[in-house]
Amino acid sequence: MPKMRTHSGTQKRVKKTGTGKVKVSHSQRGHLLSAKSTSAKRAHKKANFVSASDLKRIKQQIANIK
């Protein structure tokens, strides 16, 4: 049986917190920020976590990340 591999695309996009939650960045944050309101940009600075329905699948993909 081959080794379990970490999904490299997921690895670049998520981080695992100390408590085991999976943290991701918000969408709509990359460019064209002048068209977005200040409050919208500020709201996207807060932490964003993976939803409970996706958590099992994501944790499988990043099983080897500490």
Q: Domain range holding 58?
A: 1-26+38-66
Question: Which strands sit side by side in the sheet containing 22-24, from one edge to the other?
Answer: 14-16, 22-24, 48-49
Is 14 contained in some domain?
Answer: yes
Q: Which string of b and e fits 36-53 if b means at least 16 CB within 10 Å?
A: eeeeeeeeeeeeeebeee
Residue 25 — pLDDT band, cuts 50, 70, 90?
Answer: very high
Looking up residue 64, the CATH number of its domain turns out to be 4.10.410.60
Question: What is the rounded average pLDDT of the residues 35-51?
Answer: 95
Q: Against a cut of 0.85, is the pTM above it?
A: no
Is 32 contained in some domain?
Answer: no
Residues 57, 3 contacting (CB under 8 angstroms): no
pLDDT at 64: 83
